[in-house]
Amino acid sequence: MAPNYIVILGYPSHVDDTWCRTCDRPATDRCRQTDHHIGHILSNAAGHALRNVLLKASIDPNTVFYTSVVRCAGKPPGIVQIRRCRAYLLDELAALDLSRCRGIMLLGDSAVHGVLNHPYLTVKHTRLRVLNPTAPPWGPPVRATYYPVELLLRQSGAITQTEMVADFLDLQKPRDPVMPTAPWNSSMYDLPAPQLLGIDLEWTQHGTIRCIGFSDGVWKMVAQSQDIPSFLQWLEEAK
């Protein structure tokens, strides 16, 4: 699949969790007995409101790939549950063809927590700026905006809609491409050795290391799993 945009929620609603995609309605016992496809993200009123926002921003909702950090419906998840499910999200997006993707939008605080792997950052902190330096190296620009339920609030829904439309319009602005991590090459040996080294591991759902982020507070680099031995060798020789 090669979507034009990706929308990531924190978690599905109970309606999403029980929606029959075959019958396009809440699932019944007959749906389950006949192996209908149960589960459809953004199938509730908030989902319809979000699709209206997309149309106002000149984005065809059918060209968007929708997913969530946590797959089980319920109350807003904690950071432990988010991190437990995060590998599934990363694997899911890694399987997509992002060559045509113009942007990735995070909806709500739980989505921000999951994608940025940070329990304290919220939409309030991250809205109105591109988040690629702290997001996984997918390539398309990553932004954050409100959770779509806020579109249904009587007092502030209209204001939220206007701001969300602006956020999706801004996501479409031409920008210099954000390059994914380059393969390891000999020019990395020209970098100064870090004095204080910070390391952040990214794991797959199978328990293997996807990549490692290294930083000394001045520069930051991400090494894919196959490049880690070369990186560690450089650190040892640069001492």
* DSSP sequence for 150-177: GGG-TTTHHHHHHHHHHHHHHHTS----
Residue 160, pLDDT score? 94
Residue 181, pLDDT score? 45
Closest Cα to residue 59, out of 210, 211, 175, 171? 171
CA gap 168, 118 in Å, rounded: 23
CA gap 7, 38 in Å, rounded: 20
Instruction: Summarize pLDDT for 61-117 with one digit per residue, the tens.
Output: 999 999 999 877 777 888 888 988 898 999 999 899 998 999 999 999 999 999 998
Region 36-51 average pLDDT: 79
Identify whether residues 120 and 71 lie together within a single domain: yes
The two tokens of residue 179 are 């390059």
Q: Which domain holds residue 190?
A: 186-238
Q: At what angle do helices 45-56 and 157-171 cross, to 10 degrees?
A: 50
Instruction: Summarize pLDDT for 111-123 with one digit per residue, the tens.
Output: 999 999 888 889 9
Q: Quick check: is 179 in a domain?
A: no
Identify whether residues 42 and 159 lie together within a single domain: yes
Residue 179, pLDDT score? 41
Name 172's Cβ contacts closer than 8 Å, sequence gap at least 6: 57, 58, 59, 102, 103
The two tokens of residue 233 are 């060798």
Supply the CATH number for residue 61's domain.
3.40.470.10
- Which residues are bridge partners to 68 per DSSP? 9
Structural domains counted in the chain: 2
Mean pLDDT of the chain: 80
Region 36-56 average pLDDT: 83
Q: Quick check: is 45 in a domain?
A: yes
Identify whether residues 230 and 129 lie together within a single domain: no
